[in-house]
Amino acid sequence: MRIRPADIADARALADLFVEMERHYDSSADPDPSAVAERISSWLGRQPDAILLLAEDTSGALLGHLSAAPIFPSGAGRSAMFVKDIFVRGSARGQGIGQDLLRACADEAQRRGAARLELTVDRANTGASGLYARLGAKETDKSYLRWEGDSLSALGGRREQ
Tens of pLDDT, residue by residue over 21-69, are 889 888 888 889 999 999 998 888 888 889 999 999 999 999 999 999 9
Total-model pTM:
0.86
Predicted local confidence at residue 101, as pLDDT: 97
Note the CATH number of domain 2-119. Answer: 3.40.630.30
The C-alpha atoms of residue 52 and residue 5 are separated, in whole angstroms, by 6
CA pair distance 34, 15, nearest whole angstrom:
7
Q: How far is CA 106 from CA 27, 82, 113, 159, in A?
A: 31, 11, 11, 39
Which pLDDT score is estimated for 31? Answer: 87
> Tens of pLDDT along 86-141?
999 989 999 999 999 999 999 999 999 999 999 999 989 999 999 999 999 999 99
